[in-house]
């Protein structure tokens, strides 16, 4: 299958297999994700709130997944998506890359990242995302806009 999450190909494959299909990580709008749900092309939606609409759109997508019996397993950045997955009955897994060589930003971005061990992520018990940006990471990777 092509990387572009061709909904027609996904639907055709979904009709021919018992293996749950996941897609959505390359969708840049909630409308593309919604189309996959409406067409019953997938069983697992992997949207990414850092690429479209933020948490508001993510909550809408999670509710739509719940209504359509589709699991929410967002693409990338487990520290950002964990609260969203935990807050919905449709929540599945969070995708985590713990190798600093593969994803140095995730390894360095927060001073207090959630604990990730033995396949389990334990969220921080503080308001919001519970994350504090690392000034060192901001200096290294970011550009301050005054």
- Write the pLDDT tens digit of every residue in 5-35: 688 888 999 999 999 999 998 888 889 899 9
pLDDT in tens, 108-124: 899 998 898 998 999 99
Q: Which domains does the chain have, with CATH numbers?
A: 1-95 (3.20.20.120), 102-146 (no CATH)
Kindly report the pTM of this predicted structure.
Answer: 0.85
- Rounded to the nearest 10 degrees, the angle between the axes of helix 7-16 and helix 30-38 is 30
The predicted-structure confidence for 46-104, as pLDDT tens digits, reads as follows 999 998 889 999 999 999 999 999 999 999 888 889 999 999 999 999 998 878 888 88
d(CA 93, CA 84): 10
Which of 32, 29, 34, 38 minimizes the C-alpha distance to 11? 38
As a three-state string, the secondary structure of the chain is: CCCCCCHHHHHHHHHHCCCCCEECCCCCCHHHHHHHHHCCCCCEECCCCCCCCHHHHHHHHHHHHHHHCCEECCCCCHHHHHHHHHCCCCECCCCCCCCCCCCHHHHHCECCCCEEECCEEECCCCCCCCCCECHHHHHHHCCCCC
Check residue 52 and give its pLDDT.
85
pLDDT at 2 over 70: no
| Beta bridge mates, 24 | none
């Amino acid at each position: 299958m092509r990387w572009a999450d061709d909904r027609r190909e996904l639907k055709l494959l979904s009709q021919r297999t018992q293996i749950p299909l996941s897609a959505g990580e390359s969708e840049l709008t909630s409308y593309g994700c919604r189309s996959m749900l409406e067409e019953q092309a997938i069983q697992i939606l992997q949207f990414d709130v850092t690429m479209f609409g933020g948490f508001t759109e993510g909550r809408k997508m999670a509710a739509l997944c719940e209504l359509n019996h589709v699991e929410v397993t967002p693409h990338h950045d487990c520290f950002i998506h964990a609260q969203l997955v935990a807050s919905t009955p449709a929540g599945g897994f969070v995708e985590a890359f713990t190798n600093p060589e593969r994803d140095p930003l995730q390894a360095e971005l927060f001073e207090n990242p959630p604990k990730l061990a033995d396949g389990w992520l334990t969220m921080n018990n503080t308001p919001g995302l519970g994350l504090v940006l690392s000034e060192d990471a901001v200096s290294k990777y970011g550009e301050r806009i005054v």
